[in-house]
Structure 1
Amino acid sequence: MKKIGIDLGGHTIAAGSVDFSGAAPQVLSAVTVPTPENRDLLSVIHALEELILLWAAPGDECFVGIGIPGFVDSERRRILRLTNFSDCDGVVLGKIISANLKARGVRVDVRLENDANCAALGEGLAGAARGMRDYVVLTLGTGIGAGIVANGRLLTGAHGMAAECGHMAVSGDPLLCRCGCGGWGHLEELASADWIERRAGAVGLPPIFREVWEMRHTNTEAAALLGPALEALARGISSLAVTLDPEAVILSGGMSHAAGLADELRGRIEKYLPVPFRAVFILKNSEIGGSAAVIGAASLGQEMCKR
């Protein structure tokens, strides 16, 4: 059976066909396409189906894992909340895609998972967490997500919503806008690319995270904008460290590519950590980037992901 992994992001969708027959999974071929500009249900479904059909032909039977940047139900079939998209909440996405592709002669078993959980699985199988049994992958991009592996198992929680670390309440600032999830004062509001870019545009800076980041040493407004975001990330990461005692925290997602980000964060994190944690705390970047979520999504049909 072909295994296809898809990583649905706010700006791009990455997909690939993955081979699990060897010692480590291999992405046989992959593509990345822009996410539909409106991020609405029908456009997203169409884009996902067209990606699947790059590898699936009439008569094929395939497994498709889709990592989504939001909340999924415990059965991994229904979207509970897709914070940066419209009209997707409550949708049984896999059922819709399966029915549509069956009408085109392709049988697909679709399973959903949080995108950061997919990245965590991929890093464990082929990336920076190889050989680890306790680690955290933090995805920094349009939003902020996390995947937690504890004692060799993906942590999903009683209702399938564990590790939504972008929605940790880290601020009581009444001036913050409400997070897209419906809560308030969340890490994602303070430190995700989307929110940083909104604030940058409001003060006359380029509304592009990469450009603001590159200006931080020469522009006082850029430095003032990024400072609170970095502090919020440092507090969030240190809280994860003392709660979970992981072997490593791994940074992934588009923001993690910013040169020097991990170094900036290490210096800020240390002051929040208890002394015994400082000697063992490890913060590192992903080794396989966007491939991690694609591999992890495709692996959802594998034995290590069964719950």
Structure 2
Amino acid sequence: MIKRIGIDLGGHTISGGEVDFSGGAPRLVSPVTVRTPSERDPLSVLRAVEELALMWVSRGDECFIGIGVPGFVSKDRLAVLKLTNFKGCEGARVGTLIARDMRARGISAEVRLENDANCAAVGEHICGAARGMDDFAVLTLGSGIGAGLAANGRLIRGAHGMAGECGHMALCGEGFRGCFCGGAGHLEEAASADWVERRALERGLPGDFRVLWGMREKNGDARALIEASLDALARGIASICAALDPEAVILNGGMSRAEGMADELRGRATKYLPSPMRAVFRLLLSELGSSAAVMGAAALDGGM
């Protein structure tokens, strides 16, 4: 029997697990989370991902390994094009290299890369908040900002495999230094945890989004940072709705779990929506949390 392994590569942690699809609902078996190598360079990341995968496979096994990565991947889903919060990963044939290394260990592995938010969208569709939906968006809020978009029951991947990069929508004006993707004025630069924390440190505030969220009621500088982030996110959500007309936008990622975040964004996004869309606007929280991308990654060969 083919083992199915899902791995979610994040800026701070790497999560993985074997997913059992043999019964009714898919089941995540023995999930593990480790720290992302601080170097965030290709060799360190490759070794960390392989070491994690080897927790569930061994010599003689046949497996599928799906890997969610925080950025742009090639159309053939074997190479990294750009990971905005990592160093020197451009062009790395990660999928090919992992399959080669597994083969050297006597393991037959099919490996596929996918944007991590797309993985989360697949996970939510098969057993989470998007069950039964054909048109939806999953917005991942964390070190960066990503989105997985589905229409007519299929992921939207685009002509070059790069669709759904909503964190790089140019929604912001002057005063931004330039996103790590090479563009400027992007939603990720205005609202992601990494960028908010950088600006906080420059102002002498704690460089931790969760701490800043808790401080916002009593500290004016923290409140200003959080308010700006929320407003940018609300504009992004409204823009996704205007482009896709989804049944729901589903929030995932560490930032989304801040207490009251969904309610704050729901109210703010509504005012930016065209009036006919307000009555049908649904903003939901993920049902799978950090497991969504792992579950979805393991199911990438399922055809969504």
**TM (normalized to structure 2)?**
0.98
Does 1:134 pair with 2:153?
A: no
Match of 2:220 in 1: 220
3-state SS in 2 of match to 1:89: coil
Match of 1:66 in 2: 67
Does 1:8 pair with 2:9?
A: yes
Does 1:54 pair with 2:55?
A: yes
Does 1:30 pair with 2:37?
A: no
3-state SS in 1 of match to 2:289: coil
3-state SS in 1 of match to 2:188: helix
Counterpart-to-counterpart distance in 2, 1:296 and 1:201: 35
The structural deviation recorded for 1:242 is 1.3
Match of 2:163 in 1: 162
The structural deviation recorded for 1:23 is 2.5
Counterpart-to-counterpart distance in 1, 2:134 and 2:177: 37
3-state SS in 2 of match to 1:129: coil
3-state SS in 1 of match to 2:178: coil
Match of 2:237 in 1: 237
C-alpha RMSD of matched pairs (Å): 0.8
Q: Tell me which amino acid in the other structure corresponds to 1:285.
A: L
Match of 2:87 in 1: 86
**TM (normalized to structure 1)?**
0.97
The structural deviation recorded for 1:22 is 2.2
Match of 2:209 in 1: 209
The structural deviation recorded for 1:266 is 1.2
Counterpart-to-counterpart distance in 1, 2:164 and 2:73: 12
Q: Tell me which amino acid in the other structure corresponds to 1:45.
A: L
Aligned length: 303
3-state SS in 1 of match to 2:75: coil
Aligned-residue sequence identity (percent) comes to 62
Q: Give per-residue Cα distances to partners, 1:45-81, cap 9 Å, x unaligned.
A: 1101101110111111110000000001111011111
Counterpart-to-counterpart distance in 1, 2:161 and 2:30: 30
3-state SS in 1 of match to 2:173: coil
Counterpart-to-counterpart distance in 1, 2:224 and 2:286: 27
Q: Indicate the larger mover: 49-58 or 19-28.
A: 19-28
Match of 2:284 in 1: 284
Match of 1:123 in 2: 124
Does 1:111 pair with 2:141?
A: no
Counterpart-to-counterpart distance in 1, 2:29 and 2:211: 33
Flag structure 1 segments of 5+ consecutive residues without an equivalent. Answer: none
Q: Tell me which amino acid in the other structure corresponds to 1:206.
A: P
Match of 2:176 in 1: 176
Q: Tell me which amino acid in the other structure corresponds to 1:2.
A: K
Match of 1:261 in 2: 261
Q: Tell me which amino acid in the other structure corresponds to 2:16.
A: A
The structural deviation recorded for 1:21 is 1.7
